[in-house]
Structure 1
Amino acid sequence: MKKFMDRDFLLETETARRLFHDHAENMPIIDYHCHISPQEIAEDHHFKSISEVWLGGDHYKWRLIRANGIPEEKVTGQTATDWEKFEEYAKALSKSIGNPLYHWSHLELQRYFNIMTPLNEKTAKEIFKICNDKLKESDMGVQGIIRKSNVRVICTTDDPADDLKWHQKLQEEQSCSAKVYPAMRPDKLMNIDKIGYAAYMKRLSNAAGVPIKTMADIRRAMNTRIDFFEKMGCRATDHALEYVFCREADEEAVNVIIAKGLSEQAVTQEEIEIYKTAVLTYLAGEYSKRGWVMQIHYATLRDNNTKMFKKLGPDTGFDCIAEGNCGKGLVAFLDHLNERDILPKTILYSGTPSDNALIGSVIGSFQGTEACGKIQQGAPWWFNDTKQGMIDQMTSIANFSVFGNILGMLTDSRSFLSYARHEYYRRILCNWIGSLVENGEYPDDMETLGRLVENICYYNAAAYFQFKL
C-alpha cells in the first residue's frame, strides 16, 4: 500500500516521478486568473486563524459543510467561532473521499504548515492550534505565502471602474515578490438585464469622465479605462456568460436598448443578446489591438437558491453546471470577430465537462499566427477542477489539438493558500504524460519531455500573455 500523500503522491510511474521532481515541481507559478484581494497583498495581510484563510470566502468549502447538514451559522455566520467553523469543515472533509478538496486541503497543510497528519474530527483541535501558531509568524502574511509559493505573476479580477489604487501601491513599493497585475472583468457593463445596471453605468461614467447614453459613449468611456488598465500592466480580460451567442444589429437598435437599460425598463432576451454582442465585438477589437487575452467562462447557472441569494448575496456557493449546448453560438461569435480581423487571443472555459470535445474541435478552426495556440481551451474550471476532470480534459485536448501549447493551471480562487492547486495539477499532468511514455505511446526522450512539462507549467503562459516579468 502506498503512503498517504507522500513525496510521490499521484506519480505512478518512474517517468512521472522524474518529470515532476526534475522539471515540474520547482517551476514558478503564473496565476493568470484568480479572485484574491489586491488590498490584502498590498497590506501584507496576516490572517488571525486558519478559519479566516480557509473559510473566510471559499464557497467550495462552504458547499462541503452545508452538504453535511450543518446550519448556515456555522458556515458563514457571524456568531459562530473560528473553531466551530473549522471543526465542521474537518468533520465534512473526513467523509469526502475522492473530492479534490480533500487533496487540496492536505497539500496546503503539508506545504504551508508542515502538517502530515490527516485532518479529521479527532485531529482537528491539534491541527487548528498548529496552524494558528504558524500564522502568527512574520513570514506567514500574504506576501510571505506568495513568496513561499514561488509565484511570479498574479492577475486579480477587476472592474473597469476600479481605481486600481492597490495595484498602484504595489508597483510603487515593490514589496511583493510577484508582479500583481489587474485583469479586466466588465460583467457589470455587460449585464443590462440585471438590477443595478443604470447605477453602474453612472459609476463607469464618473470613472471615465464621459457621460454615457449611447454605444458611442460606451466606446469612449471604455477606451479611457482600457488605456488606464494597460498602463497598469493589464494583459488579460474575463467575461462570464451563461451561454455564447452572436446576434448582430445596427447601432441605432443598440442605442434604443441602452436607453431602456439606463431608464431601468425590462429588456427582452433578444435585446440582451444584441446589446452584449455589440459590446463584446467592440471590446474584442480593443483587446486584439493591444495583444490582450480574452477569457470567456460559460455554461454555469449562478445563484440558484433564491432564498440564500437574498440572505448572503452572489458567489456564496449556490451555483451549478449549465447545459453548454451553444456550439453554434460559439462558432458564430468567433467567426464574427475573425471576419473583421479583430479576434484576439482567446481562452474558452466551459462549466460542463461535456463541452471538452466541442471546444477542442472549435479552437482548431480559428488559430492564427499571433501565438502558439492563439485560441485555447482553458484550465479545468470550477466543476471540472477535479482529478478526473483534469485527466479527461488533458486526454481530450491531446486528441484534438497540440497538447504542448496548453497554458497550465490557475487557481480561480479567493484563498491565498490555493497555490497548492498548481502542484496538484502538475502531479496529474506528469502522471498522465508518464503513462503514455511507459506504454510506448511516446518516446522516452527526457530532454523533450522535460521541456514540454516546463513549458506547460510556466513558459507557455509567460509567452502567451506577454507579461513584464
Structure 2
Amino acid sequence: MSDWTLHPDRALPADPATRPVAREIYETTRDLPIVSMHGHVDVAAFADDTPFGDPAQLFVVPDHYLTRMLVSQGTPLPALGVGPEGAPGLEKDPRAIWRRFCEGWKHFRGTPTRYWIEHELVEIFGITRRPSAETADAIYDQLAERLEDPAFRPRALLDEFRIEVIATTDPAWSDLAQHQRLAQELKGLDGTGTPGSARVLPTFRPDPLLHPARPGWRDDVARLATASGIEIGGYAAYLDALRERRRAFVAAGGTATDHGHLSADTTPLPDDVAAELFARALARGEVTAEENAAFSGHMLFQMAAMSCEDGLVMQLHPGVLRDHDPERFATFGPDKGYDIPVVTEYANGLRPVLNAFGHAENFRMIAFTVDEDVYSRELAPLAGVYPALRLGAPWWFLDEPDAMRRFREAATGTAGFSNTSGFVDDTRAFCSIPARHDLNRRVDAGFLARLVVEHRLELDEAVDTAADLAYHLPKKAYAPPSA
C-alpha cells in the first residue's frame, strides 16, 4: 500500500475554470500567521509547557466533536476514556482508546472532524498510514514518539503553527496569574517579544454568574466576591464586582468577553426589578425559569454597557441547548457532545443593545449563530448597518466546508466582507488549530475565485480580500474600538 498523502487541492472548487484561480488565491494566504481569537485551549498548557499526554489524551478524550460521533455508533463514553473516576467501564488504557477511534475512522467520512484530524496526522505528525484497526498500534507508537520530542511542546508549536496570538476562555474569577507570567515569558513569532506584549490573551467568560437558576450559582457569586475583593451583599455590589474583574482581564491583556446564552435576548429590566430578583436568588435560591431568562437577558445588556466603559469586545454565542441529555450530564458533566442547536431570533433580541450602543464609538459586538437561516434574514442586515456589530464566522456545527460556503453566499451581499470578524476556531484541541484555519482559507479562496471567474471581482481584489479574511479582519475585529 502506498503512503497516505493529502491532495494539495482538497476543499478547493472542483470546477476546472475556478480551481486554478482558487489555488492562486489560497497560496497567498496559506502561510499567513494565525490569529486565534476565540478558543478553549487551557492557558496552563502554555504556562507549564509540559509535554502533551498520550495520543488518546491529545486527540480523543477531550474532543467532543470526535467522541459524539463514536457515541452515535454505539461506543459509550467510558470506553473512550470519558467519565469520572470510578465510572463503570471507564477505559484507562490509552492504546485501547486509540484503537477504538481508529476502528471507527469510517464514521468520520465527509465530516470536518476527518479533515482536521487528517491534517494533524499527516501535516503535523508525519503519519503515512490511514487510521484503521490494522494500523492503530503503529500510528499510536509513531505519535507517542513524536510527543516526546521537545519540538512538540505547546510553546514550540505556537511558532510551528505560526500562531501570532491566541485567546483562551477564562472564568470571571480566574486569578490570571498564568496569563501575567506568559506575558513576561513568551516571545512573538519574530523572537523579539517584549515584556507585557501578551501572545496568549485571556477572555472574560461570566456565563455561570449571569443565570441565577443555574446549579451552583450562589457558590460562583462567592467566587466572584473573593476574586474581586468586593463583598457581594446585593445587586449593586454584584455589578461592581463584575466591573472589577473585567478591569483585571484588561490589565492582563484581554480584549474580549464571551457569552454563551441560550437566547440572544438583551432586554434590560428596571433596576429595582433586577435588584429584587438578585436579592431573592442570593438569599434563598428562589428564581423561576422565566425570571432566570429575563435576568440573563438583562445582564447581557449590562455586559454591553460595561463594554462601552472598558472597551472589551463582546462576543455572543447563543442558540445552543446545552446538555440535552440530563442523565449524561449528571454522569459525565458538560461539553460531552450533547449540546444541540435551536432556532434563534436576533432582530428583536439584539434591538435593545443595538439601539442603545450600536453607534457608540467604544462598543463592538460580534454575533455568532448555529442557526444559519438567520444569516441572510437577520444577522447580515444588522451587521450591514450598525457600526458596532460584526458578523461572526460559522461556528461549531457550521464550521464545515459546505456551511462555510453557504455563509459567504448568504451574508456577503448584505454585509460585505468588512462587516465580518474573520475566522475563529473555537477549539479545545490545540493541534487542530492550523487545520481549521487552513480549511477556512481554502473555502474562502474558492468563494473568492468564483467571484473572479464570474467577473464580479478582479483577481488583485480577491487576493487582498483573502488576506483580510484570514488575518487582518480578526485582528481588527478583536481590537478594542479605541485601539
Tell me the TM-score normalised to structure 2 length.
0.89
Matching of residue 439 in structure 1 with residue 454 in structure 2 = yes
Matching of residue 428 in structure 1 with residue 443 in structure 2 = yes
Matching of residue 234 in structure 1 with residue 254 in structure 2 = yes
The Cα of 1:175 is off from its aligned counterpart by 5.8
Structure 1: state its 5+ residue gaps. Answer: 368-373
Match of residue 136, structure 2, among 124, 130, 138: 124
> Could you tell me which residue of structure 2 aligns to residue 377 of structure 1?
391
Instruction: Tell whether the 8 Å contact from 2:131 to 2:139 is kept in structure 1 after alignment.
Output: yes
Matching of residue 299 in structure 1 with residue 319 in structure 2 = yes
Task: Indicate how the Cα distance of structure 1 residues 345 and 34 shifts in structure 2: closer, same or farther if over 3 A, else same.
Answer: same
Matching of residue 18 in structure 1 with residue 19 in structure 2 = no
Letter in 2 for 1:441: R
The Cα of 1:303 is off from its aligned counterpart by 0.5
Matching of residue 182 in structure 1 with residue 183 in structure 2 = no
Instruction: Tell whether the 8 Å contact from 2:125 to 2:143 is kept in structure 1 after alignment.
Output: yes
Cα distance in structure 1, aligned partners of 2:326 and 2:289: 21
The Cα of 1:116 is off from its aligned counterpart by 4.2
The Cα of 1:278 is off from its aligned counterpart by 3.6
Tell me the TM-score normalised to structure 1 length.
0.92
What is the CA deviation profile of residues 84-136 of structure 1, one whole-angstrom value per residue up to 9, with x for unaligned ones? 11122122222322111111110111221122433223322222221111111
Cα distance in structure 1, aligned partners of 2:269 and 2:451: 49
Of 51-60 and 275-284, the range deviating more from structure 2: 275-284
Structure 2: state its 5+ residue gaps. Answer: 14-18, 84-89, 190-197
Letter in 2 for 1:349: F
Cα distance in structure 1, aligned partners of 2:187 and 2:132: 37
Give SS of 1:95's match. Answer: helix
The Cα of 1:307 is off from its aligned counterpart by 1.1
> Could you tell me which residue of structure 2 aligns to residue 59 of structure 1?
64
Q: Percent identical across equivalent pairs?
A: 25
Task: Indicate how the Cα distance of structure 1 residues 40 and 361 shifts in structure 2: closer, same or farther if over 3 A, else same.
Answer: same
Task: Indicate how the Cα distance of structure 1 residues 439 and 120 shifts in structure 2: closer, same or farther if over 3 A, else same.
Answer: farther
Match of residue 363, structure 2, among 344, 354, 372: 344
> Could you tell me which residue of structure 2 aligns to residue 100 of structure 1?
112
Matching of residue 139 in structure 1 with residue 151 in structure 2 = yes
> Could you tell me which residue of structure 2 aligns to residue 212 of structure 1?
232
Give SS of 2:169's match. Answer: strand
Task: Indicate how the Cα distance of structure 1 residues 56 and 70 shifts in structure 2: closer, same or farther if over 3 A, else same.
Answer: closer
> Could you tell me which residue of structure 2 aligns to residue 370 of structure 1?
none
Letter in 1 for 2:8: R
> Runs of 4 or more off by more than 4 Å in structure 1?
175-178
> Could you tell me which residue of structure 2 aligns to residue 354 of structure 1?
373
Instruction: Tell whether the 8 Å contact from 2:11 to 2:401 is kept in structure 1 after alignment.
Output: no
Instruction: Tell whether the 8 Å contact from 2:391 to 2:419 is kept in structure 1 after alignment.
Output: no
Q: Quote the RMSD (CA, aligned, Å).
A: 2.2
Match of residue 100, structure 2, among 68, 79, 88: 88
Match of residue 45, structure 1, among 32, 42, 50: 50
Task: Indicate how the Cα distance of structure 1 residues 116 and 392 shifts in structure 2: closer, same or farther if over 3 A, else same.
Answer: farther
Give SS of 2:258's match. Answer: strand
Cα distance in structure 2, aligned partners of 1:48 and 1:274: 43
**How many residues align structurally?**
457
Instruction: Tell whether the 8 Å contact from 1:300 to 1:321 is kept in structure 2 after alignment.
Output: yes
Cα distance in structure 1, aligned partners of 2:413 and 2:283: 50
Cα distance in structure 2, aligned partners of 1:274 and 1:6: 51
What is the CA deviation profile of residues 120-160 of structure 1, one whole-angstrom value per residue up to 9, with x for unaligned ones? 23322222221111111111011122211100111100112
Instruction: Tell whether the 8 Å contact from 2:56 to 2:97 is kept in structure 1 after alignment.
Output: yes
Letter in 1 for 2:11: L
> Could you tell me which residue of structure 2 aligns to residue 371 of structure 1?
none
Matching of residue 455 in structure 1 with residue 460 in structure 2 = no
What is the CA deviation profile of residues 357-413 of structure 1, one whole-angstrom value per residue up to 9, with x for unaligned ones? 22112222422xxxxxx4112111111111111111111111221124433222211
What is the CA deviation profile of residues 335-370 of structure 1, one whole-angstrom value per residue up to 9, with x for unaligned ones? 24448x488211111122222222112222422xxx
The Cα of 1:264 is off from its aligned counterpart by 3.7
Cα distance in structure 2, aligned partners of 1:87 and 1:158: 33
Matching of residue 395 in structure 1 with residue 409 in structure 2 = yes
What is the CA deviation profile of residues 183-207 of structure 1, one whole-angstrom value per residue up to 9, with x for unaligned ones? 1011011011111111111111111
Give SS of 1:454's match. Answer: helix
Task: Indicate how the Cα distance of structure 1 residues 87 and 268 shifts in structure 2: closer, same or farther if over 3 A, else same.
Answer: same
Task: Indicate how the Cα distance of structure 1 residues 132 and 60 shifts in structure 2: closer, same or farther if over 3 A, else same.
Answer: same
Letter in 1 for 2:74: G
What is the CA deviation profile of residues 258-298 of structure 1, one whole-angstrom value per residue up to 9, with x for unaligned ones? 01211243313442244234432232122123332100001
Instruction: Tell whether the 8 Å contact from 1:289 to 1:342 is kept in structure 2 after alignment.
Output: no
